[in-house]
């Protein structure tokens, strides 16, 4: 649910233009359930997109839906707001039923990894990495969507993420209850390049196979050391104003 009303306040758009062979090689994935994996120049919240995840059978390249389950506190607040609007229109409200059906479009970015809501999914079994070639931070004054990559060639890299299997919830009112594999990725303080455009946060980026291996295998406390900004000078602005890159 993008922290309700904060869509422009975090990374909610990225591209993945690499190929499955490169992703599997970089992240040491032995399994692949994606079938025909097409490039995606614009990945938005709730889209299906590739992740490399830890599974009991080994490391797997798979597709999942972007947006982890939101906290019960966020859903309660959203349902309360909706109930207040209905009451203001003179309608009767069954709040427990309303809360149960409250749509959760998902939380795309995870910053507070000390939260009880997130700590249950920080173990190795729920860790994943999310392949990308560029990502956007929105700044209207700077031209809208500002796309960052490691350099102009947009080499493959990964976000440090977490995933949850077969989560049942209402993602959208019109589609009702659905069960999906979900993912999100960690954010941290911005480095200099991102700070100039978006001073609140940047994704946690893994640039090397060694960093990917560390995130996927280390004990939780050691893995979370990777929740830090890239060094200043590590990113380039490669496009402005478009909803897709590549």
With a CB cutoff of 8 Å and minimum separation 6, the contacts of 177 are: 168, 169, 170
Residues 50, 243, 151, CA angle at the centre, nearest 5°?
Answer: 70
Model-level pTM? 0.88
pLDDT at residue number 75: 65
Q: Categorize the per-residue pLDDT at 99 as very low, low, confident or very high, splitting at 50, 70 and 90.
A: low
Per-residue pLDDT tens digits for 59-98: 999 999 999 998 767 767 776 887 788 888 888 878 777 6
**Bigger pLDDT: 88 or 212?**
212
Residue 9's pLDDT band (cuts 50, 70, 90): very low
Report the pLDDT value the prediction gives residue 87, as an integer from 0 to 100: 84
For the chain, the average pLDDT equals 90
pLDDT score of 86: 80
Give the pLDDT mean for 46-71.
95
What pLDDT is attached to residue 194? 97
Share of the chain above pLDDT 70, in %: 92
Q: What is the pLDDT of residues 119-133, one digit of tens each?
A: 999 999 999 999 999
Predicted confidence band at 134 (pLDDT cuts at 50, 70, 90)?
very high
Q: Are 212 and 206 in contact (CB under 8 A)?
A: yes
Question: Helix (H, G, I), strand (E, B), or coil: what is residue 192?
Answer: helix
Compute the distance between CA of residue 160 and CA of residue 99 in angstroms, rounded to an integer: 31
| pLDDT at residue 7 is higher than 60 | no
The full set of domain ranges for the chain reads 7-69+105-240, 70-103
Whole-number pLDDT of residue 10: 63
Per residue in 182-206, pLDDT (tens digit) is 999 999 999 999 999 999 999 999 9
Record: fold of 7-69+105-240: hypothetical protein yedk fold (3.90.1680)
DSSP string spanning 56-77? TTEEEEEEEEE-BPPPHHHHHH
pLDDT value at position 222?
Answer: 98
């Amino acid at each position: 649910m993008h922290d309700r009303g904060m869509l422009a306040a975090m990374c909610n758009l990225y591209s993945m233009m690499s190929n499955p062979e490169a992703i599997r090689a970089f992240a040491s994935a032995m399994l692949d359930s994606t079938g025909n994996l097409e490039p995606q120049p614009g990945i938005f919240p709730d889209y299906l997109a590739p992740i490399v995840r830890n599974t009991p059978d080994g490391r797997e390249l798979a597709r999942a839906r972007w947006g982890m389950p939101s906290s019960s506190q966020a859903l309660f607040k959203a349902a309360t707001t909706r109930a207040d609007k209905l009451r203001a229109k003179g309608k009767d409200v069954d709040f427990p039923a309303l809360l149960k059906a409250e749509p959760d479009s998902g939380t795309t970015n995870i910053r507070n990894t000390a939260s009880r809501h997130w700590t249950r999914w920080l173990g190795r079994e729920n860790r994943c990495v999310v392949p990308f070639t560029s990502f956007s931070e929105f700044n209207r004054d700077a031209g809208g969507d500002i796309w960052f990559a490691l350099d102009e060639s947009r080499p493959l890299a990964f976000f440090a993420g977490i995933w949850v299997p077969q989560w049942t919830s209402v993602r959208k009112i019109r589609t009702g209850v659905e069960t999906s594999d979900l993912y999100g990725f960690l954010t941290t303080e911005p480095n200099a390049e991102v700070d100039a455009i978006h001073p609140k946060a940047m994704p946690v980026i893994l640039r090397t196979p060694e960093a990917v291996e560390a995130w996927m295998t280390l004990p939780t406390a050691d893995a979370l050391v990777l929740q830090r900004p890239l060094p200043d000078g590590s990113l380039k602005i490669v496009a402005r104003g478009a909803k897709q890159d590549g």
